[in-house]
Amino acid sequence: MNTWVLIRIALRSIRKNKTRTLLTMLGIIIGVAAVIVMVALGQGAKEQIRSRIDSLGSNLVVITPGASRSGGVSQGAGSMNRLTLKDAEALARESMWLSAVSPLIVAPTHAVGGSGNWRVGVSGVSAEYATIRNWNVGAGRLFDESEVRAMRKVCVLGKTVVDNLFADQDPVGQQIILRDVPFEIIGVLEKKGQTAEGRDQDDTILAPYTTVKTRLAGRQFIPMILGATDNKSDVPAALVETKAILRETHGLASYEDDDFTVRDQNELAETAEGATEVMTLLLAAIAGVSLLVGGIGIMNIMLVSVTERTREIGIRMAVGARGGDVLMQFLVEAIVISLVGGGLGIAMGFGLAETVKWLNGWPAVIPMDSVVMAVGFAAFVGIFFGFYPARKASGLDPIEALRFE
C-alpha cells in the first residue's frame, strides 16, 4: 500500500478521535518539551560560563605560587610563594609567546573620596593589564609605562567603586585616599560584570604595581602574574615556555618540582562546562522518562484501537489486504501520532525556553541537534511501542475478525 495513503488513513483516524489522540500524545508532548527546555537552559548556562571566563581574558596565562610540602604532605596550592617582580620582568623580556605580562599585587584597603568611603581591593598592575584582561577604559585613560616606572600615585576606578563613591560626579581628575595616600583618578573602567564564581570584577581600583608595592602592600613576593598570547592556539606553547623561564629564574634543578603553578583559562572553562553538561544530561534523562510514559500510552491506545477496529481489519483482509499491509497501517498510525506529538512538544519547548529566558533573564540556547534528537526519539517511540499492536492486528484471522462484534 502506498505510504501517502497510509499517512492519510492515519491522519483520518487521528481526526476521528481528537480528544483520545491528544491525551495519548500528552506524554510525548511533555517529554519532548521538557528535554528541549533542559538542554536549552544547560547550553545557555555553558555559554554564559564561557563568556564570563572569556571576560577575564580569552588567551590568559595565570601564574600563581606553588605548593610546599611538610613531612611528605602537600600543604596545598599557594602555600609556597617565591614569585617576585623579577619573574614578571623575565617573562616580559624573554618570552616569545606571551605578548603581554603584568604582575598582580592586591592590597585591600578603605578608599575615601567623593561621598564617603568604600572597602575595596587595590590591584597593582602594569600598563598592559587592560590588554591582558580585554578591559577598556570608559572615561579618562589608563596609566602608561612611564608612570609605572616613576611610581606615580594615579589610579583607575571600577564601575562599582564609582557608583558607591562618585554616584553623581565625574571622578576623573579628583583625588581618592587609599591608606592615607592620596591618588589622582585618571580613568574609569567599563563595566565588566561578575566572574563565573560570582565575584564582582568592577569592585576594584587599578594602580601602577610599583606604587602599590611600595605604598600599600610592602611585600617582597607577589601573589600572581598574568600573561596573554596573541591567539588561543599559542596558549599551550606559552604554558611550556613560561614554566621553563620560571624554573630558570628560580634556579630549580631538573629533579626538583615546580614551586609555582601555571594555568590557562581553558582549564577552568572546561571544568565548569563539564559540570554543567553532566547536570544537563541528568535533567534531560529525567525529562526523557516522560517520553517512555508517552510511548506506553501510545501502545495502550493502539491496542484499544485494534480491538475497536477488528471488524474493519477483517474486511480489509477479505478484500485482499495482506498481513504486512495491516501491520504497516497501524505502525504508520503510531509513528504519525508520535511525530505530531513531537512537533507540538518542540513548539512548546521553544515557547517555555523563551518564557524562562524572559521571566528570569536566564540564557536559553536551543541547539539544532537537540531538536533532531527529540524528533528522532519521538519516531523511535512510535515504532517501538506501535509494533506490538500493529503485529497483533496483522495476525488476526480474517474470518474471526469479520465475526467480531
pTM of structure: 0.60
Q: What is the mean pLDDT of the chain?
A: 79
Res 263 pLDDT > 80: yes
Q: Model confidence over 57-106: pLDDT tens digits?
A: 568 888 998 765 444 444 444 446 678 999 999 999 999 999 999 999 99
Q: What is the pLDDT of residues 271-285, one digit of tens each?
A: 665 666 666 666 667
Lowest mean pLDDT among 68-77, 85-94, 249-258, 318-327: 68-77
One-letter amino acid identity for 189? L
